[in-house]
């Protein structure tokens, strides 16, 4: 966005300067709009599953801001000469299924012919101005809870390499296509201080974003990170996507590794995620209540990190 004149607007509660999940615009005292857009190339072969994953991913940024999705528009880049029309129809059906599940209404969309298939959505949601969650509010002593396992990046690489079994594909799809809606709703009662979702920067990268935004040190406990089945096995086979190395390189200046770290678990902390879970910061006294509420809502979550003392430039400490 460098070179653009992004003059602040009095109604713009969350804009582009904070690397947050979505923009938030104040409509009146009771209501703010949450707006986000996301689209990408297929991560699995089945077009219906791809549609479900792309929609769950696009909706997630609304949940990450404390909002509830209201309307959505499809964005399609489609190689009409190379792919059958049914691929597009199945993809859009998958996306629509997730919108229905989210109670979000499809109002339109736009498609262009493109050599590389891409699909995603622009999603608009609503949030009460006093319930907006950003990635910046983490308080010293908070516990950071992650609401999905990690490993979609290595699993997707194994699938692309033809090495994955059917159950690995199913594990990836189940994880990535799951809405973050239940986790977001369960979290409301525990007044999170900050929230984001885990996507391309990986668990460690998004934690560091939160640490930077809050001006705190955070400590990630590698052994506490829930992993998809076979994620470690595929990491051991060297199936880490290139993005994981880029993420590690990006984080290194603000990172401190302590103790004997398992190199595979460390690699997986940087694995870029597709439609990952929420990272919720809550006061330590509310953490076990939140974990119970998430479990009751059918969300498998884990406390993966702690928010430590103020640190002006933000620091991610990684411990075994």
Residues that bind Co ion (CB under 5 A): 21, 38, 61, 110, 197
12, 6 Cβ separation under 8 angstroms: no
Task: Collapse the DSSP code of 212 into the 3-class scheme (helix H, G, I; strand E, B; otherwise coil) and give the result.
Answer: helix
**In this complex, which beta carbon is closest to Co ion, that of residue 61 or of residue 271?**
61
**In this complex, which beta carbon is closest to Co ion, that of residue 38 or of residue 142?**
38
What would the DSSP string read from start to end of 256-296? Answer: EE-S---HHHHHHHTPPPSS--EEEEE-HHHHHHHHHHHHH
State the minimum distance, in angstroms, from the CB of residue 120 to Co ion: 9
**In this complex, which beta carbon is closest to Co ion, that of residue 197 or of residue 267?**
197
State the minimum distance, in angstroms, from the CB of residue 55 to Co ion: 13
CA 33 – CA 280 distance, rounded (Å): 21
241, 156 Cβ separation under 8 angstroms: yes
Cα–Cα distance list, 104 to 69, 124, 172, 209, 279 (Å): 6, 9, 24, 29, 23
State the minimum distance, in angstroms, from the CB of residue 86 to Co ion: 23
Structure tokens at 303: 């406390």
State the minimum distance, in angstroms, from the CB of residue 200 to Co ion: 8
For residue 132, give the nearest of 276, 275, 31, 266 by alpha carbon: 31
State the minimum distance, in angstroms, from the CB of residue 196 to Co ion: 6
State the minimum distance, in angstroms, from the CB of residue 296 to Co ion: 25
129, 84 Cβ separation under 8 angstroms: no
**In this complex, which beta carbon is closest to Co ion, that of residue 142 or of residue 197?**
197
| Residue 146, strand partner residues | 279, 302
Name the pairing type of β-strands 315-319 and 255-257.
Answer: parallel
**In this complex, which beta carbon is closest to Co ion, that of residue 234 or of residue 277?**
277
Q: Which residues contact 162 (CB under 8 A, 6 or more apart)?
A: none
**In this complex, which beta carbon is closest to Co ion, that of residue 61 or of residue 168?**
61
Residue whose CB is nearest to Co ion in the complex, by number: 21
State the minimum distance, in angstroms, from the CB of residue 112 to Co ion: 9
**In this complex, which beta carbon is closest to Co ion, that of residue 49 or of residue 197?**
197
CA 273 – CA 154 distance, rounded (Å): 9
**In this complex, which beta carbon is closest to Co ion, that of residue 168 or of residue 209?**
209
Cα–Cα distance list, 217 to 11, 264, 312, 317 (Å): 31, 23, 9, 7
Count CB atoms within 10 A of the CB of residue 200: 16
State the minimum distance, in angstroms, from the CB of residue 135 to Co ion: 9
């Amino acid at each position: 966005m460098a070179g653009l004149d992004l003059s602040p607007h009095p109604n713009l509660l969350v804009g582009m300067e904070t690397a947050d999940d979505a923009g938030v615009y104040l409509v009146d005292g009771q209501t703010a709009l949450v707006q986000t857009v996301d689209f990408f190339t297929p991560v699995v072969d089945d077009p219906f599953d791809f549609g479900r994953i792309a929609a769950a991913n696009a909706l997630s940024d609304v949940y990450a801001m404390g909002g509830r999705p209201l309307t959505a528009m499809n964005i399609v880049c489609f190689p009409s000469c190379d792919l059958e029309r049914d691929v597009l129809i199945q993809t859009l059906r998958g996306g629509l299924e997730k919108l229905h599940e989210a109670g979000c209404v499809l109002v339109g969309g736009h498609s262009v012919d493109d050599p590389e298939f891409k699909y995603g959505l622009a999603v608009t949601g609503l949030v009460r101005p006093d319930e907006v969650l950003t990635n910046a509010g983490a308080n010293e002593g908070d516990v950071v809870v992650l609401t999905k396992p990690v490993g979609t990046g290595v699993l997707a690489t194994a699938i692309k390499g033809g090495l994955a079994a059917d159950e690995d594909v199913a594990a990836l799809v189940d994880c990535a296509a799951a809405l973050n809606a239940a986790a977001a709703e369960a979290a409301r009662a525990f007044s999170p201080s900050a929230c984001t979702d885990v996507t391309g920067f990986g668990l460690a990268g998004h934690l560091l974003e939160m640490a930077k935004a809050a001006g705190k040190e955070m400590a990630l406990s590698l052994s506490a990170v829930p992993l998809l089945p076979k994620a470690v096995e595929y990491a051991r086979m060297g199936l880490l996507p290139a993005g994981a190395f880029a993420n590690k390189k990006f984080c290194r200046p603000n990172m401190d590794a302590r103790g004997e770290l398992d190199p595979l678990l460390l690699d997986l902390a940087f694995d870029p995620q597709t439609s990952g879970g929420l990272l919720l910061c809550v006061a330590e006294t509310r953490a076990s209540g939140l974990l119970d509420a998430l479990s009751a809502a059918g969300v498998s979550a884990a406390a993966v990190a702690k928010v430590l003392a103020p640190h002006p430039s933000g620091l991610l400490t990684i411990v075994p």
